[in-house]
Structure 1
Amino acid sequence: MPASSTTSNHQPTVIITETLSDGPADWLAERANVVWCPHTEKERLAKLLPQADGLVVRTYTQVNQELLDQAPNLKVVGRAGVGLDNFDLPACEKANVKVVYTPDANSQAVVEYVIALILDTLRPRTDLPPACSEAIFHQLRKTEIGKQLDQLTLGIVGLGRVGKRLANVAHAIGMKILVSEIIPETDLRRACDLPFNYVPHDTLYAEADIVSIHVDGRPENKHMLSTHALSQLKPNTLLINAARGFLHKNETLLTFAQNNPEAHIILDVHDPEPPSLDYILANQPNIRLLPHIASRTDQALENMSWVVRDILAVLENKSPNFPAF
């Protein structure tokens, strides 16, 4: 991390509580007094917040009333990322603190990741062992038989920025696409120029071979993958959640996995996060657990880090490109 820049009476103070790519961090340090303080150092952060004009966070810093009360001079908080689940937006608006973020910064990274997860599961690929015998060679050719994606139906729950890109890739591959959304079908058709079937959630769950969830963090979506929803899935479905951990209850998902051994469940996100040492979904043969890395490409991380441009814009009394409200 770059060292904090020298304090200046003419420069605003911006605290960074989580990681930021070097280029954007250096850019900001040339224009502001940058102070790095991990969100885990709560006592030090509490001492620094009264000085803060701006704040840069990612996933784990909770921007709530408690934090706002400690930062009376705060003008703007930038989320170097997409979701705003760790923000109390009404509290920020009431405190007249602007919130900016990077809504399309990692869409490509997440789509590539989801496609990779699908191929990992449905197109098995085992490397030849050293000194591979003729028998092993032919045995692998017999056992490593996958499913062809253009013969499968992909159900996308949530056709936002990520969902649309995923639909485009799936369509190019030749997959049939089912979509469930709260947005009216006519609006989606105008925004997404590709063939898809707009269906209720239950229909999507029942007919899709692969279900990928891409909904936002609104409270109504909590535990949307309920016992009823999971009961609609095919017994050999591939279910991918790279969106939010609170979309399911761990106990409910465990029961579904145990009752449907031919199903595959892939979770990149968890609730809580990181999961506890006694995580009940661990060590289940048909559940794959990943460490929230869908957006972790060098380009996506840099894209998200450029939230600093909007932070400085607000501090200079200019209009940001991506305000949250």
Structure 2
Amino acid sequence: MIVISEFMDEEAIRSGLDGFEVLYDPSLVDRPDDLAVVIGQADALIVRNRTQVRGALLDAARNLKAVGRLGVGLDNIDVAACKARRIAVYPASGANDVSVAEYVIATAMLLLRGAYGASAEVASGAWPRNALIGREIAGKRLGLVGFGAIARETAKRAAALGMTIAAYDPYLPPSAEIWKQPWGPVEAQPLNALLAQADVVSLHVPLTDETHGLIDGNAIALMKKGALVINAARGGVVDEGAIAAALRAGHLGGAALDVFAEEPLTADHGSIFAGTPNLILTPHIAGVTAESNVRVSWVTVDNIRRHLTAA
């Protein structure tokens, strides 16, 4: 049996998993006791980022052979424990790169321009032109923290808009060919230099011991006045309280947070953002579009079908 505990494209389930017994219940992620019961019968489990595949759930998964991740981040999956149990883990690598890259560029343009929140005022007869004079993205410097596949898709779009691009990635030597992209070069920089020079800082790293709290108050203090921070990577990489404080103080010019240290964000934790200007908060949706949902679903279905058929 294949258990699917979070939402995915239903046509991919019907066509791609035809012939398998499938339990598709996107509400299982919010009913962990029920999930723990059915997982004992599962040969495969398909999840997004909220189902915690670790501890007691793995202990109950006596027959589990594979886990399909509808996305690329694996911080909700105990990969080492799965390996020890000979459970294969399949992320949907590459399937939502475009969606995240478009999110980063769109939110950067929105925050720089600052002209799109005045509909009610204009409709009421106000004409706040002077208050809405924003900034162009052309000529600005994009600083990418991490230079993996999604960062490269983001850089390609930024270059087309006339931005200059730098990136920090300690796992890529400055001599690596990857810095020489077809649409132009990307400057490899140390993190502090990147933060000091970038107009837009976008995060593209997993959550690890090394990246936890990477963009904290000290890092933000290095940034230019008016710089933007966009985190569509993983919650915990950015100190959310420090972002809110820097926005209120006027040091940062804007921020967009799609991921949070605690998800779903509770009203209590979310209160740290109350009254914060030039802030966009979205519910871990950067990588989820109608198109990417189809792509990640089919990549995952193909991975699971291939594994179970070969087993």
Using the size of structure 2 for normalisation, the TM-score is: 0.90
2:306 to 307, 313, 318: 313
User: Which residue number corresponds to residue 218 of structure 1?
Assistant: 208
1:184 to 173, 179, 185: 173
SS in 2 for 1:222: coil
* Aligned partners of 1:102 and 1:304 also within 8 Å: yes
CA distance in 1, matches of 2:48, 2:139: 39
User: Which residue number corresponds to residue 167 of structure 1?
Assistant: 155
CA distance in 1, matches of 2:10, 2:197: 46
User: Which residue number corresponds to residue 246 of structure 2?
Assistant: 256
What's the CA shift for 1:207?
A: 0.6
* Aligned partners of 1:60 and 1:86 also within 8 Å: yes
Mean Cα deviation higher: 256-265 or 86-95 = 256-265
* Aligned partners of 2:122 and 2:128 also within 8 Å: no
SS in 2 for 1:288: strand
User: Which residue number corresponds to residue 303 of structure 1?
Assistant: 295
User: What amino acid maps onto 1:303 in structure 2?
Assistant: R
* Aligned partners of 1:84 and 1:217 also within 8 Å: no
Structure-to-structure mapping, 1:41-190, within 5 angstroms:
41-123=31-113, 124-125=115-116, 126-127=118-119, 129-130=122-123, 139-182=127-170, 183-189=172-178
SS in 2 for 1:105: coil
CA distance in 2, matches of 1:293, 1:196: 27
User: What amino acid maps onto 1:162 in structure 2?
Assistant: I
Is the aligned partner of 1:16 residue 2:9?
no
User: Which residue number corresponds to residue 283 of structure 2?
Assistant: 291
User: Which residue number corresponds to residue 3 of structure 1?
Assistant: none
> Aligned pair in 2 of structure 1 residues 274, 131: CA closer, same or farther (>3 Å)?
closer
1:35 to 13, 23, 27: 23
User: What amino acid maps onto 2:153 in structure 1?
Assistant: R
Residue ranges of structure 1 left out of the alignment (5+ in a row)? 1-12, 319-325
> Aligned pair in 2 of structure 1 residues 186, 261: CA closer, same or farther (>3 Å)?
closer
User: What amino acid maps onto 1:252 in structure 2?
Assistant: A
What's the CA shift for 1:131?
A: 8.4
> Aligned pair in 2 of structure 1 residues 51, 28: CA closer, same or farther (>3 Å)?
farther
CA distance in 2, matches of 1:100, 1:158: 22
Superposed structure 1 runs of 4+ greater than 6 Å apart: none
Corresponding pairs, count: 301
- After superposition, the CA RMSD in angstroms is 2.0
1:249-281 Cα shifts (integer Å, max 9, x gaps): 333333333333552121111110111212212
CA distance in 2, matches of 1:289, 1:211: 16
* Aligned partners of 1:239 and 1:264 also within 8 Å: yes
Using the size of structure 1 for normalisation, the TM-score is: 0.86
What's the CA shift for 1:48?
A: 1.2
What's the CA shift for 1:95?
A: 0.2
> Aligned pair in 2 of structure 1 residues 238, 131: CA closer, same or farther (>3 Å)?
closer
User: Which residue number corresponds to residue 260 of structure 2?
Assistant: 270
What's the CA shift for 1:157?
A: 0.9
User: What amino acid maps onto 1:260 in structure 2?
Assistant: G
- Higher radius of gyration, 1 or 2: 1
